[in-house]
Amino acid sequence: DTGVSQNPRHKITKRGQNVTFRCDPISEHNRLYWYRQTLGQGPEFLTYFQNEAQLEKSRLLSDRFSAERPKGSFSTLEIQRTEQGDSAMYLCASSLTGQSGVEQFFGPGTRLTVL
């Protein structure tokens, strides 16, 4: 399967613990996006990379969240000192640069539950 993959698919953690998620984009895609989605809502933009450069972070993203894409391939999203409000589905997407509006390919998501 050459689509976007995310690991783990599910994560249950206790409040205050740190968690890290991984996203492997489609291999030739140089843009990578992270979104968060809660039940009944659409995905909410968190951050995006072009190659290894993080170009934008949402103002809603607290300093407990950090993302990296060290070699311009896979990316990790870390949440420190998790809170119950962090419980959500974390989605990764990738795309090619090029003309405006190029489609994004989404992974299956990592569902985080903070107890």
Partner 1 sequence: SQKIEQNSEALNIQEGKTATLTCNYTNYSPAYLQWYRQDPGRGPVFLLLIRENEKEKRKERLKVTFDTTLKQSLFHITASQPADSATYLCALGAAGNKLTFGGGTRVLVKP
| Cα Rg of the chain (Å, integer) | 13
Task: Kindly tell me which of 102 and 115 has the beta carbon lying closer to partner 1.
Answer: 102
| Site membership for partner 1, residue 70 (CB under 8 A) | no
| Site membership for partner 1, residue 109 (CB under 8 A) | yes
* CB 28 within 8 Å of CB 51: no
How far, in Å, CA of 13 to CA of 36, rounded? 17
Owner of token pair 């990296």: 68
**Region of 12-20, 49-57, 60-68, 78-86 interacting with partner 1 (CB under 8 A):** 49-57
| Site membership for partner 1, residue 41 (CB under 8 A) | yes
Query: How many residues at the interface with partner 1, by CB under 8 A?
Result: 28
β-strand partners of 106: 93
Phi, psi for 35 (deg, rounded to 5): -130, 160
CB of 112 to partner 1, least distance (A): 14
Applying CB under 8 A, the residues found at the interface with partner 1 are 4, 31, 33, 35, 40-45, 48, 50, 55-56, 91, 93, 95, 97, 100-109
